Chain A
Amino acid sequence: MPIQRIAPETVARLAELARLGLSEKESEKIGSDLGEILAHFEELGKIDTEGIMPMIGAADAKNVTRSDDEDLETPEDGMRLGERIREAFPDRAGDSLKVQKIL
């Protein structure tokens, strides 16, 4: 199979969408890997899927709704869970998540 390559500007656009900063070397490798993988996908064009329903999941899941309440055994569990989650923040101010200015 001839090595097909994704155009560098497409790689740059995808990286922008995915918020990835790629080095020149990474971009080049991903461009050629993606080209080869996408060429492999061409075989799907050979199957007639006219009228076939897409399978979007493996279980017949029903949407689950619940009241917007805390779902915790005890307030102590809630304190502990909340603090554990806050402890994972790379940057915090008191109990709040700290980020750069957005607006």
Chain B
Amino acid sequence: MTIGKFHESLMNRDFSAAEALRETYREIDARDGEIGAYLSLARDGAMEAAEAVDDRIAHGERMPLLSGIPLGIKDNIMLEGEPCTAGSKILEGYVAAYDATAIAKLKAEGAVCVGKTNMDEFGMGSSTENSAFGKTRNPRDLSKVPGGSSGGSAAAVAGNMAIAALGSDTGGSIRQPADFCGVVGLKPTYGAISRYGLIPLASSLDTVGIEAKTVDDAAIVFGAISGKDPHDATSVEKTYGKELYESRPERIRAMTIGLPKEYFGAGIAKEIGERMDGVIAAFKGMDIRVKEVSLPHTAYALSAYYIIMPAEASANLARFDGIRYGTGGGGSASIKERYVDAKSRGFGEEAKRRIMLGTYVLSSGYYDAYYAKAQKVRTLIANDFKAAFAEVDALLTPVSPTLPFAFGEKTDDPLAMYLSDIFTITANLAGIPALVVPPGFQLIGKPFHEHDLLGLGREYERAMAS
């Protein structure tokens, strides 16, 4: 069910928000033992929110579109009074002290947060296998990973255990799971959605975003949670309006889509290449112009990303010192021993690897060779996009070079896992928006032009449905 249909049925009193929520929990109780999308359920808070919506409807109020909509929330986004672990043992038992701004905005619309979804520890991974609390299976094929790091959010939506879900995207963490699970994923422009209440991974790359069943649904949630927030200095003064929801086919069909040749080279699985051929033909069939463009520094993006991200992550994760969060530590002889004890027991393998890598590239003597160099390469990558957007309105690329892989396939080889992100990290480095639409392609757009991507995605959905 889509948000639009749900809203219509709710206002027609076909069902109540409480009934819809009970149905969602029945689905979760029946299926999630197998899938593992949720880490914790917010049954009481969700029921209270649903009943409040029903009360207002009973009083004849006109309700916002998101009222009563059951949503999954990635477990690195704070939902007051509920556990928030970010998939890490170091935060086991931690209860969020306040609502993230995105959550507060959703609650103000009457949305219902049903639970917290599984993820790679602190967002570090591309398969959700790095969660300290067990694996999530891909609802489309239980023998495969759901992608990551927002694997739980994508699986919840794909498995009909939420209508939409919040995720976060630092290097592809919304888009690659959307691709693997067959849902829509929106990574907004950096600064479009407040990061307040998002447990940070790499602050200059992190974005809050959306997993949804349709492009319209992604647009509705995005419209509700975007905007400047005094609590996040990097959030941007930009107000989106009806252009997000409007269908203006004549405007969309006048667009030119660029195909960056560096994204279509060797290294793409045959199935992905064939899928992209079909998608390109579909856009051409809609009379949208398609032309090849070049983003010449693409080959260096992975290295730049895997310097900047761990550097920022190592600084952000320093706060988990066993003093303000976590358990125990009172028995340590000294404060230093307490730090070491909490971190060594609390962080998983990938978190430790990235902390070590980040510490290395930031350490004296190496800073210029790695971190400073990577930041300059980041400028070149952002400039590549600027040049391409002088020629085209949006870029069309694959999301992941491979189909969903099996459990354990890449866990022993960090570089192979990092290569999963090769087509998605560039949008984070440049800070620009990107949208993934089933059967799994990515549209990358100009800063604050989410509406262009949503419009193109919507036209594609229509063309496929007709």
Contacts and interface: CB of A to CB of B under 8 A. Distances in A.
B335 A99 contact: yes
B18 to A, nearest CB: 26
Interface in B324-368: 324-330, 332-341, 343-344, 347, 349, 352-353, 355-357, 359-360, 363
Interface of A: 6, 10-11, 14-15, 17-22, 26, 29-30, 33-34, 36-38, 40-41, 43-44, 47, 49, 52-59, 61-64, 81, 84-85, 87-91, 97-102
Interface in B291-317: 297, 299-300, 302-304, 306-307, 314
Given A37-B357, A38-B360, A59 B378 contact: no
B414 A52 contact: no
Interface residues of B, number: 76
Classify the secondary structure of B's interface with A.
helix
Contact of A52 (B233, B349, B379, B430): B379
B94 interface: yes
Contacts, number: 168
Contacts of A53: 376, 379
Given A18-B314, A30-B352, A99-B338, 5 more contacts: A20-B356, A43-B300, A53-B376, A89-B323, A97-B323
A58, A59, A87 interface centre (most CB from chain B within 10 Å):
A58
Interface string B217-259: 0000000000000100111100000000000000000000000
Contacts of A99: 323, 335, 338
Contact of B303 (A11, A43, A81, A90): A43
Nearest to B360: A14
A1 B373 CA distance: 23
B333 A100 contact: yes
Contacts of B204: 56-58
Contacts of A56: 204, 375
14 contacts: A14-B356, A14-B359, A18-B356, A20-B355, A26-B352, A37-B418, A44-B377, A55-B375, A58-B430, A59-B190, A59-B236, A81-B98, A87-B95, A88-B95
B380 A47 contact: yes
Nearest to B306: A37
Contact of A36 (B297, B302, B379, B415): B415
B415 A37 contact: yes
Nearest to B414: A33
A20 B349 CA distance: 11
Given A53-B376, A59-B234, A88 B335 contact: no
A38 B356 CA distance: 12
Nearest to A1: B415
A20 B318 CA distance: 10
A70 B217 CA distance: 37
A41 to B, nearest CB: 5
B376 to A, nearest CB: 4
B372 interface: yes
Contacts of A102: 335
B334 to A, nearest CB: 6
B191 A59 contact: yes
Nearest to A19: B339
B431 A90 contact: no
Given A41-B306, A59-B431, A90-B323, A17 B359 contact: yes
A90 B325 contact: yes
A90 B329 contact: yes
